[in-house]
Chains A and B, each alone.
Chain A
Amino acid sequence: MKEGTPHSGGVPGFFTGLSMPIATHVADPGNDRSRIDARNDALFRGILRVCALLVLAALLGAALSTLWGGREVLFGDGWHFLASSQWNPVENRYGAWAPIYGTLVTSLIAIVIAVPLSFGIALCLTEVAPLWLRTPVATAIELLAAIPSIIYGMWGLFVFVPFMAAHVDPMLDSTLGRLPFVGALFRGPPLGLGLLTAGIVLAIMIVPFISSVMREVFQTVPARLKESAYALGSTTWEVVWDIVLPYTRQAVIGGIFLGLGRALGETMAVTFVLGNAYDLSASLLMPGTSISSSIANEFNEAVGLHRSALIALGFLLFVVTFVVLLIARRMLRSLKRKEGNA
């Protein structure tokens, strides 16, 4: 290779893996052009790198700043903050258990409803529905994810809450509410507002995320596996349950965690339909609160320790969603690797 290769190195570009030799640095003082190119390349690379590191900085910053903002409560009260269910701005005492409970319960309800629904949608769109119908239906369901969360909140408050109060709550109270043990979960006045309503609205919001992951991974199942099963006389249901689902299990769980991460952090939709009450109640029909709705409702009126407590709640929410999303992405990523090796 001659000296003065126009593309001078020092830049481990996309082709570093190739056997093509790269000039390390051109020390020819006469060759200005290549030196300028090399400098520009290094500069460009530096700028790009800084931009990419901003992503990292955003996540780290979000964690650290909420930790800092909530330090008075997090380090001052310690475990008491987590375990106490007393949230009293008048006496300036804050316990996070009620919002944590509300967040966990609503997300759990959302997952319980959304997972079978999403599985059904994915099954329908990969095996059952006629080919011409699949793309438009999939697009329509993905549009559910594009609707802003405040619209879900308004629809929830003005349309779905009265619907729940008029039809679903009384029905649950008079049927499931009569059962021993689990009955306590479904007993209560027909308020419409409450943990169950919030969970259902969340379920509708996360269905597009879970179902699109499921649909995508169901499509990666090699046709020969499915065809073999069909050739042995399996029904569509048996193929999906015994072949497709075991093959894609890890990614399906990843998709579910992705939905869970969304549900945990959702704010606007929940705020309107949850009722904002710090009372802990056994019944799902009673109002509650959640981490995100507490922050949204109270932050602008809060001062001092109250504000610190809300920021501390934000820190808790961030840590929990981070862990959930971490699990989700790990599971989804290992599937990608498997695909690549196959």
Chain B
Amino acid sequence: MSANVYRRRYAKNVVAQALASAAALLALMFLAWILWVTVSRGVQAIGVSLFTKITAYADQGGLANAIIGSLIIDAMAIALCAPVGVLAGAYLAEYARGTRMGETIRFLNDILLSAPSIVLGLFVYVIVVLPMTAATNGSITFSALAGSIALALIGLPVIVRTTDEMLQLVPSTLREAALSLGIPQWKLTVQVLMRAAGSGILTGVLLALARLAGETAPLLFTAFGNNYTALSPLAKMASLPAAIYQYTNDPNPAMHAIAWAGALLITLFVLALSLIARAVFARQKTSHE
């Protein structure tokens, strides 16, 4: 009888552990599957014309204007959200610690972190694209600027949260030492604390860039798209994710091949950024020990 109970418990344990390992294996398998498909199909279509020809040539062309567009939009988005995010994070960590307002903003920031990106796109459409159209009588409608504002809203909470957490990790002896020398708090924050948490804050910015670089949904109705190279922030601008979306919806298989090449570029860029961010973060950890 008791041997029976023991055997049943033992069997249950073995089955549970096997299923748990199988779950982890299944997740790894999907990762490998997705990466393998992206790499193998993407590599086939990567060539010189991908970087030299624009999307106006369709299946004879490349993604040059989309790559340039993505670089411009992403750079503008990071330029918008990095300073704001770092300062907001500093506010939470240094000025609002333990206050009700600080807690509320931290809480809402966590919600913004997983808010649906398509709604943020609609938001920017309503507050940027529509007023701009009305103000210029329709000569400026969708614009790269609107796209970068939408992406900045996606990157912002990542930077706020990382900055907040990284500044809180800085030992308070550093603050006390600086304040006892009579340094005003703003100088302490900018010149001592932000420097001490520097690589942690950089991690946040890199993660934000990785996050917003792959976003597609909010770009569709903010930056729209463009078959030619545009450099003005007030013009409709092509972007890599939006071009991939458009090409994937096309029935022509030659367009799908170009889309896979674009997908490979984005995936490599995003994964490289996340791995670099992890490496930078690891360095931050060791430098504190």
- Asked if A51 and B248 sit within 8 Å, CB to CB, the answer is no
- Asked if A56 and B108 sit within 8 Å, CB to CB, the answer is yes
Residue positions of B touching A, CB distance < 8 A: 9-10, 12-13, 16-17, 19-24, 26-28, 30-31, 33-35, 37-38, 41, 83-85, 87-88, 90-92, 94-98, 102, 104-105, 107-112, 114-120, 122-123, 125-127, 153, 156-157, 160, 172, 175-176, 179, 182-186, 189, 210, 213-217, 220-221, 224, 241, 244-245, 248, 256, 259-260, 263, 266-267, 270-271, 274, 278
- A154-B9 in contact given A147-B270, A264-B116, A266-B116 (Cβ < 8 Å): no
- Asked if A128 and B94 sit within 8 Å, CB to CB, the answer is no
A116 (CB) vs chain B CBs: closest residue: B23
Residues of B within 8 A of A128 (CB): 17, 20-21
- Asked if B92 and A52 sit within 8 Å, CB to CB, the answer is yes
- Asked if A129 and B210 sit within 8 Å, CB to CB, the answer is no
- In Å, the complex CA distance between A15 and B176 comes to 9
Known: A55-B109, A127-B20. 4 other contacts (CB 8 A): A48-B87, A141-B27, A265-B115, A311-B126
- A137-B24 in contact given A66-B126, A295-B122 (Cβ < 8 Å): yes
Report if A148 contacts B (CB, 8 A): yes
| B251 to A: closest C-beta gap in Å | 12
Residues of A within 8 A of B213 (CB): 148
Residues of B within 8 A of A43 (CB): 186
- Asked if B24 and A125 sit within 8 Å, CB to CB, the answer is yes
- Asked if A65 and B185 sit within 8 Å, CB to CB, the answer is no
- Per DSSP, are chain A's interface residues mostly helix, strand or loop, or mixed? helix
* Tally of contact residues, A, Cβ under 8 A: 99
A266 (CB) vs chain B CBs: closest residue: B116
- Asked if A300 and B220 sit within 8 Å, CB to CB, the answer is yes
- Asked if B271 and A143 sit within 8 Å, CB to CB, the answer is yes
| B200 to A: closest C-beta gap in Å | 17
* B13 contact from A65, A66, A235, A265, Cβ within 8 A: A235
- Asked if A45 and B95 sit within 8 Å, CB to CB, the answer is yes
**Which of B34, B35, B160 has the most chain A CB within a 10 Å cutoff?**
B34
Report if A238 contacts B (CB, 8 A): yes
